[in-house]
Amino acid sequence: MAENTITDRDNVFFEAGIKLGALYHQFTGSPVSLRTVESLETAIAQSISVQPCVEKITVSIDRDMVRSKLNDEFGYCELEGRMLNVQIDAKYGSVMAHVSMEFNKELDYPLMKIDKIY
C-alpha cells in the first residue's frame, strides 16, 4: 500500500482526536459543585458516546480539584480541563485504539494522548 493512502489506522486516531477536542470545548466552563459533579460526568460520557467511532468512554472529574476551586462566597466552580480524566476506545473499520486525556502535572497541562492500538 502506498504510504500516502489514508488507512483505517489514520482515521481511528483522527476520529478519536475529534471526540476529545469536542468534549473539552463543549463542557469545560460548566458550573459544577460536589453535589452535581456526578450528573455532569454521566452527561458528558453519554453525550460523546453517540458520536461516530466511539466504542466506549468513561469520564471522571477530580473531586479534590473541584473542592479546592469552590468559590468561598458562592460555593461552586467551573469545570476545567485539568479536572477531567477521559478514557476512550475508538474504532474505525477493523482498527481499535485507546486514547485519553489526563492532567499532566509536569507540563501543567490537560494532556490528550494516544495510549495504544490493537
Q: Does position 103 bind a copy of itself by CB under 8 A? A: no
Min dist CB 65 to a copy of itself, Å, is 15
Q: Kindly write down the DSSP assignment for every residue of 24-86, as one continuous string.
A: HHHHTT-EE-TTTHHHHHHHHHHHHHTSTTEEEEEEEE-HHHHHHH--TTTS-EE--GGGEEE
| Contact status: 17 vs a copy of itself (CB under 8 A) | yes
Length of the chain: 118
Provide the minimum distance between the beta carbon of 74 and a copy of itself in the complex, in angstroms, as a whole number: 6
Residue with the three cell numbers 500516502: 4
Closest CA to 96 of 72, 78, 71, 114: 114
One character per residue 51-90, x = contact with a copy of itself (rule: CB under 8 A) = xx------------------xxxxxx-x--x---------
Contact between 104 and 110 under an 8 Å Cβ cutoff? The reply is yes
Q: How far is the CB of 45 from a copy of itself (least distance, A)?
A: 8
Give contact residues for a copy of itself (rule: CB under 8 A). 3-4, 6, 9-11, 13-33, 35-36, 39-40, 42-44, 46-52, 71-76, 78, 81, 99, 107-109, 112, 114, 116-118
